[in-house]
Amino acid sequence: MHANLTIDSILRSPAAANKPAQQPDEASESVSYRECRIGIVGAGSEACELLDYLRRHTSYDYFDFLAIDKDKAALERSGADTQVLLRYEIHLDLDEENLTPLDLIAAQADRDQLRAILKPYDLLFVVAVLGRDSATGIATDIARVAHDTDAFTIGVVIPPFSFEAIDRINCAQCGMTELEASLNALLVLDPNKFLQQPGCKLRDARAAVNDAVLHVVDGVIEPISKSGLINLQIWDIFKFFWRAGRAYVGFARASGDNFIGDAIEQALRYPLLDQIPLSKARKSMVHVRMNRNFPFAKLEQINRKIEQYADEDADVKFSLVWDDNLAEDQIVVTIFTTDGGAAPQDEQSNDGLVRQFDLSSLLREVRAKPSD
């Protein structure tokens, strides 16, 4: 006996239709961002809770939240703009070799419905807490279907704690392998990394993971949307995460006399950045938030500190945006690293092309480029 998932119903929030047009912060010159539609998809009940957390802790009204699960109550708690309710169809099957560890959407009609929901988006975050067959299967389906559209996909997944049942751990490992094959980049936010920190309790690790999801979303979206001294184009984000495989994130907030050095060093010691530190990364993206009254004489300190740790041959992207909620002696640093990835196009020809093509053309070009 095995289960297939089918779409029971699709609810679209009336408030979503009244969202303001996607606009970046004032003075932002991120031209390509204005053409980009961004979605965050929560796969499974626990991911629905994460969507609610993101909704309450971000000020973004220019991207959509989408929740997909078989639990109607979890969908409602997510507060997502689009809520897709799934149901099980149980089938008898005496051939056990056909059994799959993941509960997947099998019917083409349902996959077509899911494709229609995801197709309008240019950039998709796929968020999932792995371990349960249904949540892992839903995330896998989303990744596969999104791969068939023009969406650029970044996975943000949370594996089980090491003390959980072995079947949950095996299911998560299977899911991560499947996801890595379909997504442009995969960030694995392992809660066990936080438990290894002195004095960290279980609830602290869970809170730290929720916070890490928020850092990932902020670190990708802010450089292309908030006004600042150094913004990135959406094309820069795509180049960084293009076929990146596993990517890693570090985060820190610091203030005081040595706030620049403290923030960067703390970000580099962030538990989730230990597998590929800045010194070993092929590519890195450093995102900084600071008060617009930040003393410009200290800007050079940031560059020197990054150069001190980064490999001289690495491709390092840098962004700096304003956050007037920070004090003048405060700084927030987010660092992404990866040892994989390939730019979809020769670096020297990108600048002109970003301005010549609309975003959909760029995405089609990225999708069409054959693998090395």
Structure confidence by residue, pLDDT tens digits, 38-56: 999 999 999 999 999 999 9
Token pair 């760029």 is found at 362
Per-residue pLDDT at 370: 45
CA angle 6–160–118, rounded 5-degree value: 35
Structure confidence by residue, pLDDT tens digits, 173-184: 999 999 999 999
Per-residue pLDDT at 32: 45
Residue 166 burial class via C-beta count within 10 angstroms: exposed 0-12, middle 13-18, buried 19 and up: exposed
Q: Are the beta carbons of 155 and 187 closer than 8 angstroms?
A: yes
Per-residue pLDDT at 158: 97
Q: Are the beta carbons of 118 and 149 closer than 8 angstroms?
A: yes
| 4 phi/psi in degrees, rounded to 5 | -110, 145
DSSP calls for 1-60: -EEEEEEEEEEE-HHHHTPPPP-PPTT---GGGGG--EEEEEESHHHHHHHHHHHHH---
CA–CA gap between residue 53 and residue 178 (Å, rounded): 26
CA–CA gap between residue 266 and residue 252 (Å, rounded): 6
Token pair 């993206």 is found at 285
| 285 phi/psi in degrees, rounded to 5 | -135, 120
CA–CA gap between residue 51 and residue 126 (Å, rounded): 11
Per-residue pLDDT at 359: 43
CA–CA gap between residue 65 and residue 220 (Å, rounded): 16
DSSP calls for 280-338: G-SEEEEEEEE-TT--GGGHHHHHHHHHHHS-TTSEEEEEEEE-TTS-TTEEEEEEEEE
Q: Are the beta carbons of 267 and 273 closer than 8 angstroms?
A: yes
CA–CA gap between residue 221 and residue 112 (Å, rounded): 28
Q: For residue 152, what are the β-bridge partners?
A: 123
Mean pLDDT, the chain cut into blocks of 10 residues (372 residues total):
79 67 46 70 95 86 88 95 88 52 85 94 95 91 89 95 91 92 94 91 93 95 90 91 91 90 91 84 92 82 84 88 91 90 45 36 48 42
Same fold, 2-188 and 245-368: yes
CA–CA gap between residue 194 and residue 197 (Å, rounded): 5
Contacts of 315 (CB under 8 A, 6+ apart): 282, 283, 284
At the topology level, CATH places domain 245-368 in Rossmann fold (3.40.50)
Per-residue pLDDT at 190: 96
Q: How many CB atoms lie under 10 A from the CB of residue 44?
A: 28
Buried-state track 68-98, b at ≥16 Cβ within 10 A, e below 16: bbbeeebbeebbbbbbbbbeeeeeeeeeeee
Per-residue pLDDT at 38: 92
Per-residue pLDDT at 92: 53
Going by C-alpha positions, the residue among 53, 73, 44, 83 that lies closest to residue 172 is 44
| Residue spans per domain, the chain | 2-188, 245-368
Per-residue pLDDT at 2: 54
Question: What pTM did the predictor assign?
Answer: 0.85
CATH class of 2-188: alpha beta
